[in-house]
Amino acid sequence: MATIPPVPDNTENFNHVFKLLQGEYPDAEPMLHFKNPLELLIATILSAQCTDKQVNKVTQVLFKKYSSVEDFANADINELGKDIYTTGFYHQKAKHIIGSAQLILTEFGGKVPDTMEELLKLPGVGRKTANIVLARGYNIIEGIAVDTHVTRLSQKLGLTQNSDPGKIELDLMELAKKEDLENLSMTLILHGRNVCIARRPKCGVCVVNKLCPSSEV
């Protein structure tokens, strides 16, 4: 079986690529709806393998039923699972939400942590979720949230030769200014959803097709 050659290194064009993409998505804002860091944490946990649109539909009801960290900490796992069923992997997500809420109460005084080290102690919270909570909940830029879109696009654009999210995060952090990391993540996510679609990339209308080593035009 023939192996697919790696995408050539294209990091020298990063600034040009990012500038063009920013022009396409000047208002790259988060799609998840939330009013505070706790709601953001819950919504981000629910967003794993689920669309933001569906998460927002679920949390519109969920955050009325569970309005505090105590509510989530004391929730019945089976009932919570039914409440979030349509987001997928509902039992594991319910377990993580309840466990995180309980730890927030016992270890962090009822407040969602605002440091990477502490957030990573919460059940089911990895660097992607932690970066999102820090950036959008506390305006603290620690790194860049690397989801499936960011992973795929950074590889196709030749901005990384890695497949591990942690290594991709480090690669992107070397390319972008710290204050631009949150915007870079959202911009790549939006481009992945709208143009560089996994199964049918719209290379013909892509604003960076001439700078993309994976372009099909």
Annotated binding site for [4Fe-4S] cluster: 196, 203, 206, 212
Annotated catalytic residue: which of 52, 147, 171, 180?
147
Q: What distances in angstroms separate CA 102 from CA 28, 69, 84, 164, one per listed residue? A: 33, 8, 18, 30
Q: What distances in angstroms separate CA 134 from CA 20, 31, 55, 118, 203, one per listed residue? A: 26, 16, 19, 11, 33
151-168 as b/e, with b when 16 or more CB fall inside 10 Å?
bbbbbbbbbbeeeebeeb
Q: Cα dihedral sign for 115, 117, 122, 123?
A: positive
Geometric angle at alpha carbon 168, from 30 and 145, rounded to 5°:
20
Comparing CA positions, the residue from 23, 14, 24, 64 lying closest to residue 42 is 64
Is 57 among the residues known to form the active site?
Answer: no
Cβ count within 10 A of residue 146: 25
Is residue 161 within 8 Å of 6, Cβ to Cβ?
yes
Is 128 among the residues known to form the active site?
Answer: yes
Binding site residues, as ranges?
A: 196, 203, 206, 212
Catalytic residues: 128, 147
